[in-house]
Amino acid sequence: MMLQSVSVLLQYKEYVAVFEANEEARREMVPSLLRSFDSRFWIPVSNILLRLCKGVGFGQYDNEAIKVLAAIKAIKRDGADRHRETGHVAVVANEDDGGEDDHAASPDAALAEAIANSVDSSSPLFQALIVETFKGDPKLLEKFLDRVFNTLNWTITEFGVALKEMLDMRQRAAAARNLQRKCTVMLELSVTLERVLEFLTLELPVAFLDSSASMRMKRLVEILLFVLGHACGAGSDAKLFEQALSMKLPVFVADKISRAPVLAPIAGIILNLEVAAAAWVEGRGDEFGVNEVSDTVADELAAGAGENNISQLEYICAFDWEEHFGAFTGREEAIAELRDVVRRVRDTREDIERRRKAEDEVDVPEDFVDPIMQSVMTDPVTLPGSGVVVDRETIRRHLLTGDGTDPFSRTPLDESMLRDATDLRKKIDEWRSGLHKNLDTTALEDID
């Protein structure tokens, strides 16, 4: 009940200001919210996060939102030492005991002005606190993202199931109306979770780009492709959505259900991560808190996307965003960047397919093959309990299920216990290098 009440109050800018001015709320609300994102409270928590983070997503950009983000970045740079001492971001009241010029030039003044001009119920202060909380508690970030990925997978699946049931039962008016409502609820919840992920890729890209975050990046791309498959393209789920939209159902019309809210966060997530990765390449990674980049989102999309997925990404580029969101700031530049990303995804995908085909056509040494996934390993590790060698990604996925045991010996296991199979990895890399070198030579001969 309390979470529902907070969610309702945060719809109004006046109440957001009250929360921001309360020291206890500044200190405790964000950590408590993030820890409460579980199977019982995830709906009100995600709604609260959405309200606090409004205005910074794809299709929502405007000059005020950009000004807000600039102010937050100034706070992080200029007030870092003070924040570490206090443990939270301070709100500056309008006091008369200081010089007006000094106050206007301070980072707190920039934040106060940004809050005053922020979009609807959004809160630059609480946005900053969300980021700082996750930076200070990596385990909380890991648990939170795991729950978001799993929950978004569930909501978009339930949306597809409800769509099919609704279309199958459209002759039964009462049942169809209930299913229509379920469709809208599931879609709205899915969009809310997408926007939460989009905010994190904007303000905390290191959570996905760092070498230690490769599994998060893989899971993020998997869920993006899964959502895309339900929203557009030639798949059966997308066709159901298209059929439902074409029927102009009363509930859909009233709730303004369309593809745009589903696709916009996907575009934003891709752009946020690509911009941060590009800044790192240019030596400006510190502007985004990125010290290293393992794989870019374009690389991961290329590795995981099929031809239909790439067509779906191209659909996003060609989508009429202005019709749905108006002429938001930076639209043309954002779409141009998105097109460039999709082009690189397609080119990289073609190269990956050629290399995979070459691997499939030769005999692979048995010890190079992951015993669970039956694929050539890229980062082999030895499990201490059983002595079995598997790919790191495979065992990470196993551990994410909550089963903290070796799947072969059932002895206790966590990621810190894995032992790098360095010699085997070197052999696999040399084998791949020779195979790909032969492939490149053959390709050049074909060109000649």
Please state, as a whole number, how many other Cβ atoms lie within 10 Å of the Cβ of residue 193. Answer: 26
Which among 266, 328, 259, 275 has a CA at the least distance from the CA of 59? 328
Note the pLDDT of residue 425. Answer: 93
The helix/strand/coil state of 287 is helix
Please state, as a whole number, how many other Cβ atoms lie within 10 Å of the Cβ of residue 360. Answer: 9
The helix/strand/coil state of 334 is helix
Note the pLDDT of residue 149. Answer: 96
> What are the angstrom distances between the C-alpha of 333 and each of 58, 103, 306, 330, 336?
12, 35, 26, 5, 5
Q: 294 and 273 in contact (C-beta within 8 Å)?
A: no
Spatial neighbors of 164 by CB under 8 A, at least 6 apart, are 240
Note the pLDDT of residue 110. Answer: 45
Note the pLDDT of residue 377. Answer: 92
Sheet holding 380-382: strands in order across?
389-391, 380-382, 419-420
Note the pLDDT of residue 201. Answer: 95
Which residues is 420 bridged to in the sheet?
381
Spatial neighbors of 175 by CB under 8 A, at least 6 apart, are 169
- The low-confidence residues of the chain, meaning pLDDT below 70, are 1, 61-121, 170-174, 251, 254-255, 436, 438-448
